[in-house]
């Protein structure tokens, strides 16, 4: 039995979205249980044989400063959800709330893994090879050192090798050119550290990649700081939305285009599935001593359901244990390389 | 008569692409002249009544370090092209060569405008409003201070107000959230400087924007450092390419999808035009005492032609003079705000 703790209050829509997603998830996974966390007035009427309710008295809002979320709202639905993982009641936690607050609370409650200074958010982007490119960090760390980027590479490799059973997935460093001389100082240094780690055989480092390589599928994992990763994520979402809206408007223009839309339905539907970011919803907070998944704040029930599925798959495949083993294996390299980076 | 100097050797394809684009440009603009710059063996046979040839003996390659491009190759086609603007023979220069080298050479040959420390690369992205969002910097500056970002805002405003005749185009600061507390230290400081400048009435500052706002068209101008801007640019290109390739493959699948493609032709063509980055080719190097336009290195003749068109429009509309006036107007604000930022 897999148990997932769900912050039912998080996100732009809260229980209106999270509760229907929870019901559907339970119906689809007969071996799963959910712990629903939220305010009494919203969860009072929820009933399912495999769901239990844990009440919280506060909610972290989208614009609560970290300080408030972490120090003042000690009984927030977000915090209580993460605590379910800490105390062993759940194998994973899911929230669509404030990303910064979720990261801060998760880090405070669960602590980071040995050898990891900063947890990172890892998400998936569809690529032209028909698969997905894992990108991290997507927004947890707005200022990263070269050593942090190396840690992200190790964590990302561990995640992907667990998810895909590939022994040595390839890692690219997001940069503004393929050449080694490109980039700012942190990126150049990170490139050096990654090359050293690759030589030791513990990391399959491809080299520098550019923004377009994310969607080309040049590498399995793209490493970047959280500011850049978040901009890339949202730029992609923005362009996909624009194209979707454009096609909708153009195909509804007149009777001819409407007929064309019917003829092209299967292709348009396939495209929608391919680039719909709701399908890729559910980013992993990596580097913590527990599994936490972040749903997009604007997720609808379908998207939130995907985040629940991801948490479920991760728990079922013992992602945490396997990531921990991989990180422990590369710990000597990380330590050696970091000594190098501080000299 | 408008004269444009063209680096015919730049880009991934060189003269094979640039020369046909030049011929077509001349045919389309009876009031334009071109100065073609390149190696004798490539330009020897080019003949057009409104084209003259200036020979160079060297070519800056895509992976030449700045040092080589700037100090060693003093007779490169790129440098000779920019010199045509400096010596008054041409009103604008266009090159598809190495971006860093073009910026370094332009800065060295032409110098920056008063009040501008660092030139920036400004390009256009299509947006959901049917217009274009101007984004800068797209890759000239990989490390920016808050004051640099403020200067980009002023230069971008000047560019857009000249191109669109809008008096006070809106400026957004690219960040990872709308809230003032979001972002790294440089971004938070830049936000403060922009708010001060906005209060003085010389800048229409909207506030923070996110990656998706580029394509939404939330603001006229999006300001960011060159690393982030370059990643956003290439991420968008990568996604657009992936979608294009996907549609092509899906519509060629079988006889039914092929018929659907014919039915949907007008819409697909409209989409292609809408997101085709070749249509938006030709980024302005802003902040210099002369007009220089950068074409994408991979540009084909159609795309390179668009870069020539942009240079032509800019020269015809006296972009340089008008940007200079706008920057001079905001000079007191820039100076005041920068004093603030250094305290």
DSSP line for A234-250: HHHHHHHHHHHHHHHHH
CA distances from A80 to A9, A36, A102, A106, A110 (A): 11, 10, 11, 10, 12
What share of chain B has pLDDT > 90, as a percent? 61
Q: What is the DSSP letter of B288?
A: B
Nearest chain A Cα distance for residue B279, angstroms: 16
Find the CB nearest B243 among A185, A253, A275: A275
pLDDT at A64: 87
Contact A151/A311 with Cβ under 8 angstroms?
A: no
CA–CA dist A4, A319 (Å, integer): 14
* Tokens encoding A151: 């840690």
pLDDT digits (tens, 9 = 90+) for B82-103: 999 999 999 999 999 998 899 9
Contact B181/B153 with Cβ under 8 angstroms?
A: no
CA–CA dist B35, A159 (Å, integer): 55
The CATH architecture to which A125-279+318-343 belongs is 3-Layer(aba) Sandwich (3.40)
pLDDT digits (tens, 9 = 90+) for B226-280: 999 999 999 999 998 888 888 888 888 888 888 888 888 888 888 888 777 777 8
Burial class (CB in 10 A: 0-12, 13-18, 19+), B213: buried
CA–CA dist A101, A121 (Å, integer): 13
Average pLDDT (B284-293) is 95
**Most confident by average pLDDT, A52-56, A176-180, A198-202:** A52-56
CA–CA dist A277, B29 (Å, integer): 44
CA–CA dist B108, A309 (Å, integer): 56
3-state secondary structure of A251: helix
CA–CA dist A72, A59 (Å, integer): 11
**Residue position matching structure tokens 């936490």:** A292
CA–CA dist B78, B96 (Å, integer): 9
Contact B181/B265 with Cβ under 8 angstroms?
A: no
pLDDT at B180 over 80: no
Q: What is the mean pLDDT of chain B?
A: 90
Average pLDDT (A82-104) is 95
* Tokens encoding B285: 């190097």
Closest CA to A267 of B144, B128, B259: B259
Contact A144/A226 with Cβ under 8 angstroms?
A: yes
Can you give the C-alpha Rg of chain A in angstroms? Answer: 21
CA–CA dist B284, B295 (Å, integer): 9
Backbone CA torsion sign across A188, A192, A198, A202? negative
3-state secondary structure of B49: coil
Q: What is the DSSP letter of A134?
A: E
pLDDT at B28: 96
* Tokens encoding A178: 């393929």
Nearest chain B Cα distance for residue A135, angstroms: 12
* Tokens encoding B212: 């998706």
Contact B136/B152 with Cβ under 8 angstroms?
A: yes
CA–CA dist B281, B125 (Å, integer): 10
CA–CA dist A101, B55 (Å, integer): 61
Contacts of B226 in chain A (CB under 8 A): 176
Mutate to test the interface with A, among B133, B172, B242, B274 (most CBs of A within 10 A): B242
CA–CA dist B228, B135 (Å, integer): 11
pLDDT at A27: 96
Centre a 10 Å sphere on the Cβ of residue A227 and count the other Cβ atoms it contains: 27
CA–CA dist A49, B308 (Å, integer): 68
* Chain A residue with minimum CA distance to B213: A238
Find the CB nearest B237 among A143, A212, A226: A212
What share of chain A has pLDDT > 70, as a percent? 98
User: ipTM of this predicted complex?
Assistant: 0.87
Q: Among A62-71, A309-318, B51-60, B105-114, which is the least confidently predicted range?
A: A62-71
Find the CB nearest A247 among B142, B216, B267: B267
Can you give the C-alpha Rg of chain B in angstroms? Answer: 21
Contacts of B227 in chain A (CB under 8 A): 176, 183-184, 187, 228
Average pLDDT (A242-253) is 87
CA–CA dist A71, A196 (Å, integer): 40
Q: Return the domain boundaries, chain B.
A: 120-278+322-343
Closest CA to B140 of B115, B172, B104: B104
pLDDT at A220 over 70: yes
Find the CB nearest A234 among B179, B212, B234: B212
pLDDT at B268: 84
> What backbone phi and psi angles, to 5 degrees, belong to A41?
-65, -20
Q: Among A87-96, A100-109, B157-166, which is the least confidently predicted range?
A: B157-166
3-class DSSP string for A178-231: CCCCCCCHHHHHHHHHHHHHHHCCCCEEEEEECHHHHHHCCCCEEECCHHHHHH
Closest CA to A138 of A315, A286, A261: A286
Burial class (CB in 10 A: 0-12, 13-18, 19+), A52: middle
Q: Among A71-75, A158-162, A204-208, B107-111, which is the least confidently predicted range?
A: A158-162
pLDDT at B343: 46
Average pLDDT (A285-292) is 95
DSSP secondary structure of A261-309: HHHTHHHHHHHHHHH-GGGG--EEEETBSSEEEE--TT--HHHHHHHHH
pLDDT at B222: 98
pLDDT at A303: 94
pLDDT at A341 over 80: no
pLDDT at A254: 86
Q: How confident is the model at residue A8 (pLDDT cuts 50, 70, 90)?
A: very high
Cα A105 from chain centre: 16
Find the CB nearest B266 among A231, A257, A265: A257
Q: How confident is the model at residue A340 (pLDDT cuts 50, 70, 90)?
A: low
Q: What is the mean pLDDT of chain A?
A: 90
Exposure letters B91-126 (e unless 16+ CB within 10 A, then b): bbbbbbbbbbbbbbbbbebbebbebbebbbbbbbbb
Average pLDDT (A45-58) is 93
Q: How confident is the model at residue A343 (pLDDT cuts 50, 70, 90)?
A: very low
Contacts of A245 in chain B (CB under 8 A): 128
Q: How many CA atoms lie within 13 A of A34 on its CB side?
A: 32
pLDDT at A221: 98
Is A143's CB within 8 Å of B232's CB? no
- What residue spans of B91-223 are helical by DSSP H? 99-110, 146-164, 185-199, 211-216
pLDDT at B333 over 80: no
Contact B77/B115 with Cβ under 8 angstroms?
A: no
pLDDT top residue among A270 and A289: A289
Contact B192/B158 with Cβ under 8 angstroms?
A: no
Is B250's CB within 8 Å of A267's CB? yes
Question: Cis peptide leading into B137, omega within 30 of 0?
Answer: yes
Contacts of B176 in chain A (CB under 8 A): 139, 142, 226-227, 230-231, 234
CATH class, B120-278+322-343 region: alpha beta
pLDDT at B339: 67
3-state secondary structure of B110: helix
């Amino acid at each position: 039995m897999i148990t997932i703790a769900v912050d039912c209050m998080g996100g732009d829509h809260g229980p209106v979205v999270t509760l229907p997603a929870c019901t559907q998830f339970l119906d689809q996974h007969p071996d799963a249980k959910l712990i629903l966390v939220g305010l009494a007035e919203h969860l009072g009427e929820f009933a399912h044989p495999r769901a239990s309710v844990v009440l919280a008295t506060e909610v972290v809002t989208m614009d609560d400063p970290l300080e408030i979320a972490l120090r003042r709202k000690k009984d927030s639905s977000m915090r209580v959800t993460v605590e379910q993982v800490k105390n062993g009641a759940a194998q994973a936690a899911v929230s669509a709330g404030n990303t910064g607050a979720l990261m801060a609370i998760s880090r405070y409650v669960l602590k980071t893994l040995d050898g990891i200074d900063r947890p990172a958010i890892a998400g998936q982007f569809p690529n032209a090879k028909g698969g997905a490119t894992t990108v991290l960090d997507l927004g947890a760390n707005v200022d990263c050192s070269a050593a942090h980027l190396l840690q992200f590479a190790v964590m990302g490799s561990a995640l992907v090798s667990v998810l895909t059973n590939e022994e040595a997935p390839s890692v690219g460093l997001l940069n503004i050119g393929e050449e080694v001389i490109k980039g700012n100082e942190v990126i150049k240094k990170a490139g050096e550290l990654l090359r050293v780690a690759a030589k030791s055989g513990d990391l399959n480092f491809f080299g520098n990649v550019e923004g377009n390589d994310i969607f080309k599928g040049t590498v399995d994992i793209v490493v970047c700081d959280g500011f850049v990763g978040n901009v890339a994520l949202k730029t992609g979402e923005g362009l996909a939305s624009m194209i979707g809206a454009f096609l909708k408007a153009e195909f509804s223009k007149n009777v001819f285009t409407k007929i064309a839309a019917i003829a092209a339905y299967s292709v348009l539907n396939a495209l929608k599935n391919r680039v719909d970011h709701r399908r890729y919803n559910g980013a992993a907070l990596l580097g913590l001593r527990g599994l936490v998944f972040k749903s997009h704040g604007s997720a609808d029930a379908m998207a939130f359901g995907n985040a629940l599925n991801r948490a479920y798959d991760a728990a079922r495949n013992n992602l945490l244990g396997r990531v921990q083993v991989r990180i422990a294996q590369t710990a000597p390299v990380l330590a050696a390389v970091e000594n190098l980076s501080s000299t």
